[in-house]
Amino acid sequence: MYKAVIRGVGSYLPETRLTNSEIEQMVETSDEWIQTRTGIAERRIARVDEATSDFAYHAAQAALADAGLEPTDIDLLIVATETPDYLLPPVACQVQARLGCRNIGAFDLHATCAGFLSALQVAEQYVKAGVHQHVLIVGADTLSRFTDYEDRGTCILFADGAGAFVVSRSDDPADTGVIATTIHSDGTYFHNLYIPGGGSRTPYGQGAKAKIVMDGRKIFKLAVNVMATTAEELLAKTGRQKGEIDWLIPHQANQRIIDAVAESLDFPQEKVVSTIQNIGNNSSATIPIAVDTAIRDGRIQRGDLLMLVAFGGGLVWGGALVQY
């Protein structure tokens, strides 16, 4: 079996920033209240003329440049998103055309904030089996379009952006790449984080709110438990020790959740990557953006062992142990 290595990483953030002081003008809250409960000072937000495919395209371009590849080298394109430009066609098809890829397979993957790690698991299987040489995976979301800016429990969290990996085949003995992945779900909790309106159950204009609804306290407890358990599962599966992990990179949902996961694992805070303060929670994009940020600022180096863990509405959760 081949190895699946992370050959390229890229990300893209919209330029518009929504600060806590601006949110203070929308709902009854304060900068101190928001930062204490979430760790967020500002979040990146799409302009009216920007959408998910725009962010996905730019992140994909950056990952390809980092990998030293051309769009025509890519064999499969997967976009993890909850916020497509249109209900159909897939965002991936728009990105495939805009990049100038060959007529390759291109599809969207719908697994909320665990979507990018789900896409990574799919890419891993295709590459390790020898079906594809290079798979481009993108996590991209425009959550601001589905955020209720009259709900102070959710409008303080959500943001927009995209991140991407190029996952490539290798038979080089020196490479390790993706060591293990895992994905889980429990649909009994779907109502704790969902968008009631806009789907086939309750189409747009038929009364249900087409904005994110969340039971924050319930999600907090579930998130900490499943992400910590996932990290322990991956360590047990691979026989690795916690001390071997160079960086823990959780889904950037909330700084208190990130801190609680690290504490639950007894993992040193200085080895946890957090980008939420100035970016916010952009769903499937948070992990690749965090990885890209830590590579660009020099924290993550080639050869480092990364523990990636995420959870999202569904509930879905998962993780990946990767040597970069």
Told to judge if 254 belongs to the known catalytic residues of this protein, a careful annotator would answer no
* CA distance linking residue 249 with residue 288, whole number of Å: 9
CA 247: distance to chain centroid? Answer: 16
Residues 165 and 79: beta-carbon distance below 8 Å: no
- Torsions phi, psi of 218, nearest 5? -65, -45
Q: Which uninterrupted H or E stretch holds 122?
A: helix 115-128
Q: From the DSSP assignment, how many helices (H) and strands (E) are in the chain? A: 9, 13
Catalytic residue among 113, 132, 254, 282: 113
CA torsion angle 16 21 22 27 (round to 10): 140
Catalytic residue among 101, 251, 254, 282: 251
CB atoms within 10 A of CB 22: 11
Told to judge if 155 belongs to the known catalytic residues of this protein, a careful annotator would answer no
* CA distance linking residue 93 with residue 88, whole number of Å: 10
Told to judge if 281 belongs to the known catalytic residues of this protein, a careful annotator would answer yes
- Quickly tell me which residue has 């993108």 as its tokens: 138
DSSP 237: H
Residue ranges of E strands in 178-293 = 178-185, 193-194, 213-214, 247-250
* CA distance linking residue 61 with residue 83, whole number of Å: 20
**Bridge-based pairing state of the strands 76-80 and 105-109:** parallel
* CA distance linking residue 75 with residue 71, whole number of Å: 9
Catalytic residue among 20, 58, 134, 281: 281
Catalytic residues, which ones? 113, 251, 281
